[in-house]
Amino acid sequence: MGYYRDRKSSKGKWILSLLLVVTLGIFIVTEVIPSFQGSNVANDSTNKISGTNNKEVGQIINTSVNVDVSTQITEVVEDVTPAVVGVTNIRQQTNYWHQEEGYEAGTGSGVIYKVSDGVAFVVTNHHVIDGADTVEVILYDETSIPAEIVGSDIFTDLAVLRMDASQVDKVIDIGSSENVKVGEPAIAIGNPLGHMFSSTVTQGVISGTNRTIPQDFDQDGRADWQAEVIQTDAAINPGNSGGALINIYGQLIGINSMKINQEAVEGIGFSIPIDYALPVISELESTGEMVRPYLGVEIYSLDEVPHVEWGKTLNLPNDIDGGVYVWSVEPLSPADQAGLQRLDVITELDGKGIMNMIDLRKILYQEKEIGEEVEVTYYRNGERYDTTIILGTQ
């Protein structure tokens, strides 16, 4: 009986509270909603939600903004796509009748970056055309045009092709990779998995800048170089190599080059920054090759030698923690003329420490010119020496 009375009393209080809330709600709807209607907030996509001290804490976005961005991307892709081409690597083989015939050894992508005097120039990757006897360029409308390899460079993974420009409709606009920001939109255009999927477009963002990726050209398990690349999550698949990475304005900011191909990895692709590529493209176009300074030595990184041999065979002081050792010296080379010998250990160039083969190549290839002098610090039988080498032509 007592339990029943308590419930009845609670019920009366609950009804009274509900009436109060409903009355207050009606007041809020009547008084507050008209004031919002008068301000027309919902139709103003630029209006800000402000907090204390007038700091912006959010923004009301109209869906028309997303439509505008999507339309811009669509228009940019439509404009740029004709400048992105397929590249077919064709090699010759002898058939059963002892006749030479060509076969498709591989496919990739390329970008038309210049037309001059009826000739179109295409940039692609070195690995796309490596070993080719002939090359064909496939335009976006499936037109096939024979192309000539002007030159290529293994260290930058870039190559330049030349072809007739009579059927070329578009040359890509060149942007800059210097001020590319992490998180900004990026669009990759190319031919993944061959020409069946030509002019495929993938969209993502810039995931990282100034990345360095080890390169093993001779597949001996040792890094020969470190590529400096832009990282993106825009899908880059086999066949995309040599294609365009563009910004939201349709400007070329990178040449798609590689991706990490592991089962546990997704969305990590790399492009050669256009600011880094342009000088190489220009030299390949004008001379057909990249001519770099060289010492004339066969070298290996010191960390490839068991540490016990540093003192036992090379007689290095205990305070040496890196360098490159000379395995052989070419006769009459700059190194030979400067007196370098087998098993000398180079530790500095122009006073800069050398830890491995990549460090040495970067100084030679990026900071020095043919004919310049370079100060070389090396150790021989535990003694330190310095010599000056006049760099020759590779």
The string of pLDDT tens digits covering residues 317-332 is 999 999 999 999 999 9
Amino acid 72: pLDDT:
81
For 77-116, the pLDDT digits (tens) are: 999 999 999 999 999 877 767 666 778 888 999 999 999 9
Question: Is the pLDDT reported for residue 382 higher than 50?
Answer: yes
393, with CB counted inside 10 A (0-12, 13-18, 19+), is exposed
Q: Which CATH class is domain 173-287?
A: mainly beta
Q: Which CATH class is domain 80-164?
A: mainly beta
Amino acid 14: pLDDT:
44
Mean pLDDT of 181-187: 94
Active-site annotation holds for 157: yes
Where are the domains positioned within the chain?
Answer: 80-164, 173-287, 293-393
Share above pLDDT 70 across residues of the chain, in percent, rounded to a whole number: 78
CA distance 391 to 394: 9
Instruction: State the residue for tokens 């089962």.
Output: 263
Mean pLDDT of 228-237: 89
- Of 265 and 220, the structure prediction assigns the larger pLDDT to 220
Question: Is the pLDDT reported for residue 368 higher than 70?
Answer: yes
Indicate the DSSP class of residue 368: -
Beta bridge pairs of residue 225: 215
**pLDDT bracket for residue 73 (50, 70, 90):** confident
Q: Structure tokens of 269?
A: 């692709």
Q: Which of 124, 256, 138, 112 is nearest to 194 (CA)?
A: 138
CA distance 188 to 254: 9
Amino acid 134: pLDDT:
95
CA distance 172 to 266: 29
User: Which of 109, 126, 152, 157 is flagged as catalytic?
Assistant: 157
CA distance 224 to 77: 36
Is residue 103 within 8 Å of residue 89, measured between CB atoms?
Answer: no
CA distance 169 to 25: 65
Between β-strands 269-273 and 251-259, what pairing exists: parallel, antiparallel or unpaired?
A: antiparallel
Amino acid 58: pLDDT:
39
Residues making up the chain, counted from first to last:
394
User: Which of 109, 152, 241, 271 is flagged as catalytic?
Assistant: 241
- Specify the CATH superfamily of domain 293-393: PDZ domain (2.30.42.10)
Q: Which of 238, 209, 246 is nearest to 72 (CA)?
A: 246
25-34, 212-221, 280-289: least confidently modelled range: 25-34
For 108-141, the pLDDT digits (tens) are: 999 999 999 999 999 999 999 999 999 999 999 9
Rounded (5°) CA angle 392-393-394: 120
Would you give the distance in Å from CA 121 to the centre of its chain?
Answer: 21
Active-site annotation holds for 257: no
Share above pLDDT 90 across residues of the chain, in percent, rounded to a whole number: 60
**pLDDT bracket for residue 386 (50, 70, 90):** very high
Are both 173-287 and 293-393 of the same fold? no
For 53-66, the pLDDT digits (tens) are: 333 443 444 434 44
- Kindly state the helix (H) or strand (E) to which residue 84 belongs, with its residue range: strand 84-94
